[in-house]
Amino acid sequence: MSDSASYLAYVASVPRLRAAAGALLRDNEGRVLVVHPVYKDEWDIPGGMVEAGESPVGALLRELQEELGIAPPMVQLACVDWVPPAPPWDAGLMFVFNAGVLTDSQIAALRLQPEELDEYVFAPPTDLDKLLPPGLARRMSAAILAAGAGQTAYLEDGLIRLLP
């Protein structure tokens, strides 16, 4: 096998990792925007899967425009969470971006994409563990802490992982 064929075979053997990007969006009372997808029973955060060749920020901005009809003026990475495999899903990297505080007029202008979302609510941070799946609730709690400190957190399965 030639060197280029060996290299191409190696590249083809490298595992792929799924990724998703979500938004930490709040109202002026500090409540967090959560959405209810029509295709599952659990609440979620605005955002979605990163498509092939797309950056996490690009995915977030695309999903916010598609799902809610908004384009936040700023996004800053709040956390990255490595999520272990949970069949049928492989392991993945979940990015949460602090997308700021929505004004009353921006909230009034929210338009849910009916093929994807049927409801939204602004929930106090203390209630996220009642609405969201456990791993996502942990991720969002860490994202809120990191965003409040102007930092970025690295998580594994929603738990802050301190690096040496």
For the chain of 164 residues, list the mean pLDDT of each consecutive stretch of 10.
80 86 97 97 97 96 97 92 93 97 95 96 98 97 96 95 74
How confident is the model at residue 110, as a pLDDT?
97
How confident is the model at residue 73, as a pLDDT?
78
How confident is the model at residue 164, as a pLDDT?
66
Burial class (CB in 10 A: 0-12, 13-18, 19+), 63: buried
CB of 113 within 8 A of CB of 66? yes
Q: What is the pTM of this model?
A: 0.92
How confident is the model at residue 64, as a pLDDT?
97
Could you tell me which residues come within 8 angstroms of residue 145 by beta carbon, excluding any fewer than 6 positions away? 153
The total of other beta-carbon atoms located within 10 Å of residue 50's CB is: 24
* Helix/strand/coil for 38: coil
